[in-house]
């Protein structure tokens, strides 16, 4: 990670902060979501932008999540997001959470079955423009 981009503290209203979670092997997609959120006038919170202690990475990520009013998770590649998603449902209204996943075919759910029953919006996309539109549509409802 580029240390020049690390932030130590963000002071903005909780309802304008959007937690972005997912597998960092898909960092380009997470950064795209981050930029889309920023262009929408909200404050994206991506844990990799913060100083986190390696030994406390889970607690630090949950702390960042708890301070947000909205959560977006890219769940195509499993990275243990289930714990964060469960916390998001506890700390953030269900309608304020979105799960995104890449599809090779329409109506396909390539992510772990454990997430299929989670009671938050689950939206597939097949190209980057569709991803952008899905995030924008979700955020319009949040504003």
Provide mean pLDDT across the span 66-74: 93
User: Is pLDDT above 90 for 5?
Assistant: no
pLDDT of residue 83: 79
- 10 vs 74: which has the higher pLDDT: 74
- Going along the chain from its start, the domains and CATH numbers come out as 12-142 (3.40.50.450)
pLDDT, one tens digit per residue, over 22-58 is 988 899 999 999 999 999 999 999 988 888 777 777 7
Alpha helices in 18-122, H assignment, sequence order: 27-39, 57-66, 81-91
Q: 72-108: per-residue pLDDT in tens?
A: 999 888 777 777 888 888 888 889 999 888 888 887 7
Binning pLDDT at 50, 70 and 90, where does residue 115 land?
confident
pTM summary value: 0.84
Query: In 1-80, which ranges are continuous DSSP H helix?
Result: 27-39, 57-66
């Amino acid at each position: 990670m580029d240390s020049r981009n690390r932030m130590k503290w963000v002071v903005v209203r909780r309802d304008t902060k959007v937690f972005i979670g997912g597998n960092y092997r898909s960092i380009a997609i997470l950064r795209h979501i981050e930029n889309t959120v920023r262009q929408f006038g909200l404050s994206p919170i991506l844990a990799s932008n913060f100083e986190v202690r390696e030994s406390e990475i889970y607690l630090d990520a949950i702390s960042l999540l708890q301070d947000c009013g909205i959560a977006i998770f890219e769940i195509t590649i499993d990275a243990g997001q289930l714990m964060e998603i469960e916390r998001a449902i506890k700390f953030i209204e269900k309608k304020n959470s979105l799960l995104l996943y890449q599809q090779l075919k329409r109506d396909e759910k390539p992510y772990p079955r454990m997430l299929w029953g989670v009671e938050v919006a689950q939206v597939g996309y097949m190209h980057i423009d569709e991803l952008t539109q899905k995030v924008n549509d979700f955020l319009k409802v949040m504003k």
